[in-house]
C-alpha cells in the first residue's frame, strides 16, 4: 500500500476514534430531547403573534433537532393543536437545519467559527423562510 494512503487512513482512524464519544453523546441527547419534551408542551408557548411565534418556533426547532420525516408528523400535530402555520413552518425548518444539540460535535468536526456561523444563519433563515412560505401560500 502506498505510504501516503496508509498515513491518511491512520489519521482518519485516529480522528474518528477521538470524535466517537462526542458523536455518541450527541445521539443520546437528541434521543432524550425528542422523548422528554411532549408535543402538547409546544402549544402552551405560542402567542398568536406572527413574528414572535416564528421566532419561538425557530428557537424550539433549533433545540429539538431531528430529521425531516418526524418533523412533518410533529408539525401536523402542532397545526391540529391550533398553532399557526408560520410557527410550525419555522419550527420545521429550524428542526432540520439548526442543531444546538449537535453543536459540540459540529464544532469538533468543522471548527467553532464555521459551526456557530452556520447555526446562526440557519436560525434566521428559518424565520425568513417561514414568513415567505406562508406569505406565498396566502395563509396570513
Which of the given ranges, 42-46, 50-54, 67-71, 77-81, has the highest pLDDT on average?
Answer: 50-54
pLDDT the model gives residue 50: 85
Question: Which residue carries 410533529 as its cell?
Answer: 74
Three cell numbers, residue 7: 498515513
Separation CA 110–CA 104 (nearest Å): 10
Provide mean pLDDT across the span 38-45. 68
Q: What are the angstrom distances between the C-alpha of 58 and each of 39, 53, 63?
A: 15, 8, 9
pTM of the model: 0.68
The larger pLDDT score, comparing residue 85 to residue 19, is at 85
pLDDT the model gives residue 107: 92
Number of domains in the chain: 1
For residue 33, pLDDT over 70 is answered with no
Separation CA 60–CA 2 (nearest Å): 49
For residue 46, what pLDDT band results from cuts at 50, 70 and 90?
confident
Residues 58-108: tens digit of each pLDDT: 998 898 766 676 777 778 877 877 788 999 999 999 988 998 888 888 998
Domain that residue 31 falls in: 3-137
Residues 117-137: tens digit of each pLDDT: 999 999 999 999 999 999 898
3-state secondary structure of 14: helix
Average pLDDT, the chain: 84
Amino acid at each position: 500500500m502506498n505510504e501516503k494512503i496508509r498515513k491518511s487512513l491512520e489519521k482518519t482512524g485516529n480522528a474518528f476514534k477521538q470524535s466517537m464519544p462526542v458523536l455518541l453523546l450527541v445521539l443520546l441527547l437528541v434521543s432524550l430531547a425528542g422523548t422528554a419534551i411532549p408535543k402538547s408542551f409546544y402549544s402552551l408557548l405560542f402567542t398568536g403573534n406572527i413574528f414572535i411565534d416564528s421566532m419561538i418556533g425557530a428557537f424550539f426547532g433549533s433545540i429539538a433537532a431531528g430529521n425531516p420525516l418526524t418533523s412533518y408528523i410533529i408539525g401536523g400535530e402542532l397545526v391540529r393543536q391550533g398553532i399557526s402555520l408560520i410557527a410550525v413552518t419555522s419550527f420545521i425548518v429550524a428542526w432540520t437545519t439548526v442543531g444546538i444539540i449537535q453543536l459540540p460535535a459540529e464544532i469538533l468536526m468543522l471548527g467553532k467559527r464555521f459551526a456557530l456561523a452556520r447555526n446562526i444563519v440557519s436560525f434566521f433563515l428559518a424565520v425568513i423562510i417561514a414568513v415567505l412560505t406562508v406569505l406565498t401560500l396566502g395563509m396570513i
